Amino acid sequence: MHDGVRTKHCKNDHMRECLVIQHAFQANGWEADVWGLRFPNFETPPDFNSYDYLLTIENYELEWLPDFKEITKPVKMQWIIDLHCINPEVFRSVTSNMDIVLHSTKGLMDSYKQLHPNQEHIWFPNGLDDRHFTNRNLERSKDCIFVGNLASREPLLRAVEKLCDVELHLMKTGDEMLDLVNSTKVHFNSSIDIDVNYRCFETMGCGACLLTNHLDELEELGFEDGVNCYMYRGIGDIPEKLKLALDNWERVGKAGEEFVKEHTYTKRVEALISTLTSKDSNNGTTSEVPWKLYIIANRGATYVGVSPDPVRRLRQHNGEIKGGAKYTTSKGSGWRHICLVSGFRTKIEAMQFEWAVKHFPPRNAGGIENRIKKLYGVISKEKWTSKSPPACDVPLHIEWLEEPCDAGDLPDYVTQSYRIN
C-alpha cells in the first residue's frame, strides 16, 4: 500500500519502493499486490481482509488511506524510512493502528518505540534494488562524483567540491542517474543524519567504489573501510580517503559489488518472512530465526550462502521456485547440499562468516575440496572478520550431508555430525 506520489523526478517512478518490495515478496514465492493513490487500481480497492499481511510503505498524504481499524484479519505493518528527516508526528496516526513497525534506521527505533510501546518494532534496513542498480560495464571516465540532492549536506558538498574537485550532479534521476554512477571510479556519499541511505547500496550495485561517512550502523551491516568501501569521519579525513579510493577503486569496487548481493531487497524480505512466520508459530511473539551457512555443489561448481531455511533456499537455487542466485540458476538444476553450518546467534554473524569463507584465499580456487578447505580455514581463525566476535564465543556445528574431504583439524569448540545418504 503506497501513495505512488509522482514528483518532477518521475523518471524514478518504476523504482518506487512499493514495486521493489512487491518484486521481493514474489521472488520469495509469495503473492503480493500493490494498491494506492495514483495507481491504476486505486478506484477499485481490494478486500483488505482477504490478505494475510498488509504493508503500508511510508506515506505523507494520509487522507486516502483506508480505515485500518476496520481491517482486522491481516497482520498490519508500516515501513518507516525517513524518520531521520521527517517529524515523527507524520507517521504516528498510522502507527497507532499497526501491529508491526519496520524501521530503516536502527538507531531511531528505541525513541520511536517509546512513543508506541504496544507495537513490535523491527529493523528493516534499506537495501539494493538489483533489478535496476547493476554494473553496466561503462567506461569509468570520471574520478569522483556525487549524485543526489543537497538538503542539509550542502555545506559539506560545496566544501568537498572545492577541496577535492568532486563533481556534483544534482537531482539526476532514472537512466541518467544510473549512467552517472556507472561512469565514475568513486562515488561520494554523505548521509543526511544517522541514516544508511539508498546510495550506499546503489553505488555498490553499480560497481563503483563507495566513499561515505562513517556510521556504526554501516559496520553492523558488514561495510568495512578499505575492504568493500571507504569511510571518512570528518571533512579533514576526506582528501586522504579519496586518494586511497582512487588508488584502489577497482579492487574495492569489485568487493563492494560482491558484498551488496547479500543486501538486496529480496534478501531483506526473505529475512522478514522468516521473522513473520516465526512470529506466527510462536503465538505472536517474535524470536530471531537461526541462520545457517550452506555449501552446495552441482557438477563441479560450488556455492556458499546463508539462509534461515536452507532447504527452501536450495529449491530456489535449483529453479523450483523463484529467487535463486543468478550464478546458481545459470548452472541449471542438480544443486545439492554438501554441509550446513549452524550456531550463529544472529543473521549478522552468519553473514560475517559467509563473507569470510567467500574471501578466504586463494579467491579463484574452485571445486568442493577447495571450498571445504576455505571453510576450515575460516573456522580456525580467532576472528572471522575484523568486526566479528571471537570465534570461540560462537560454538559452531557442521552437519555433513556428503562425506567431507580431509581438510585438517577443527577447534575444540566446533562440533560435527553426519547425515549422509
* Chain segment 159-169, per-residue pLDDT in tens: 999 999 999 99
Mean pLDDT, residues 89-100: 92
Rounded Cα distance between 289 and 269, Å, is 14
> Which residues are within 8 A (CB) of 6 and not within 5 positions of it... i.e. 6 or more apart?
13, 38
What's the rounded mean pLDDT across residues 377-386? 92
DSSP secondary structure string for all residues of 227-251: TTBEEESSGGGHHHHHHHHHHHHHH
Average pLDDT of the residues in 270-296: 75
Write down the pLDDT at residue 288: 59
Q: Would you state the pLDDT for residue 277?
A: 77
Condensed to tens digits (0 to 9), the pLDDT of residues 168-186 reads: 999 898 999 999 999 999 9
Rounded-to-integer distance, Cα 377 and Cα 300, Å: 21
Residue 281 has pLDDT above 60, yes or no: no
Alpha helices in 165-237 (DSSP H): 174-182, 198-205, 216-221
Q: What is the DSSP-derived secondary structure letter of residue 264?
A: B
Q: What average pLDDT does range 295-314 have in this prediction? A: 92
C-alpha cell at 170: 544534482
347 or 10, higher pLDDT = 347
Q: What is the dihedral of CA 265, 271, 277, 280, to 10 degrees?
A: -100
Specify the higher pLDDT residue, 369 or 324: 369
| SS3 assignment, position 86 | coil
DSSP string, 310-366: HHHHHHHHTTSSS---HHHHHT-S--EEEEEEE--SSHHHHHHHHHHHHTSSSTT--
Q: What is the pLDDT of residue 8?
A: 47
Domains of the chain, first to last: 10-123 (no CATH), 142-262 (3.40.50.2000), 290-418 (no CATH)
Is the pLDDT assigned to residue 197 strictly greater than 70? yes
Q: In this structure, are residues 187 and 145 in contact, taking their beta carbons and an 8 Å threshold?
A: yes
pLDDT in tens, 308-332: 889 999 999 999 987 788 889 899 9
Q: What is the pLDDT of residue 388?
A: 87
| Contact of 235 with 156, CB cutoff 8 Å | yes
Q: Residue 149 and residue 139: Cα distance in Å, rounded?
A: 24
Question: Is pLDDT at 4 greater than 60 in this prediction?
Answer: no
Q: How would residue 1 be classed by pLDDT, with cut points 50, 70 and 90? A: low
| Residue (of 379, 362, 372) closest to 415 by Cα position | 379
The predicted-structure confidence for 114-150, as pLDDT tens digits, reads as follows: 999 999 999 999 999 999 999 999 999 999 999 999 9
**Which residue carries 494520509 as its cell?**
62
Backbone phi, then psi, for 119, in 5-degree steps? -95, 155
Strands in 62-183 per DSSP E: 75-80, 100-103, 120-123, 142-148, 167-170
Contact yes or no for 400/339 (Cβ under 8 A): yes
